[in-house]
Amino acid sequence: MLHTNRIDRFQTIGPNAADYFYLDSRLGRLLDWDSLAVYDVPERGVSEAIMRGGLTVEYLNAFTNDHDNFLFGVSDYLGVGDDLALQAAVDLFNANPSLRAHLAVNNADSLVYAAKSMQTLHRSKIEYAWLDSLIED
């Protein structure tokens, strides 16, 4: 759904979402991060590491050797030439928090796992709502 060109009444970011990077908790060891935080949704820890500037070429290469979307996203956002080397693009991505946020908000995996994390949190709150009633103000 996130890659469809037109969805009736769908006005938010989503249609034409890109695959700038993927989120896979099994490959978190390839990120430049000491340790991944543990969440109910493991991909959230990977996302956090990437969003703190821990993306690596090795992590990107574990999925595909076609990085056109990522390279275009970095060069387009920064207004630089589109002939960036992958390592240079990763370095620019890691050094620029607003670039990371921009790509993440338009990244299909980021949107899917943000929604999944919100659903998990919501279910947890509902499941343990009775505990709140035991706590006195």
Which domain covers residue 84, as residue numbers? Answer: 25-134
Any domain includes 16: no
Q: Write the DSSP symbol of residue 30.
A: G
Any domain includes 125: yes
Domain count across the chain: 1
Please tell me the predicted confidence (pLDDT) of residue 43.
85
Any domain includes 60: yes
26-60 as b/e: b if 16+ CB within 10 A: eebebbebeebeebebbbbbbbebbeebbbbeebb
Any domain includes 20: no
Any domain includes 78: yes
Please tell me the predicted confidence (pLDDT) of residue 7.
46
Any domain includes 8: no
Per-residue pLDDT of the chain (137 residues; tens, 9 = 90+): 444 444 455 444 545 677 889 888 889 889 998 777 777 778 888 999 999 999 999 999 999 999 999 999 999 999 998 789 999 999 999 999 999 999 998 888 887 777 777 777 777 777 766 666 777 65
Please tell me the predicted confidence (pLDDT) of residue 103.
92
Q: Write the DSSP symbol of residue 16.
A: B
Any domain includes 77: yes
